[in-house]
Amino acid sequence: MDALTLLGQFENASPTLVGGLTQISEKAKSFASIRGGTSVVEQDIRALQSSTAALLAAISGITPAEVVPQATQFAVTLEDAYADTLTNLMD
């Protein structure tokens, strides 16, 4: 599978990825009601965020130059979704 195909699959999955993070944000109060729940969820989100960023950086590194802006924009969209989720968890 080449870089463009991988990027396309990630972009196609974007609504699901962002939607999942939104659902986690919406359940922040439920996690807070469980002793240590918010901490566990936060650790997991941060680990997933880091892994996703590393994977997207690797894909961008092998993507043709004309597509790098598209890959970068997708990475920014996901990074914003992760940041929003973490902010909502901590509120």
pTM above threshold 0.75: yes
Three-point CA angle 32, 83, 64, nearest 5°? 145
Domains, the chain, in order of start with CATH, read: 3-22+35-90 (1.20.1280)
Number of Cβ atoms within 10 Å of the Cβ of 24: 20
pLDDT at position 4 over 80:
no
pLDDT tens digits, one per residue of 27-40:
999 998 999 999 99
For position 1, what pLDDT does the model report? 59
More confident residue, 7 or 12: 12
Q: Cα(first)–Cα(last) distance of the chain, in Å?
A: 41
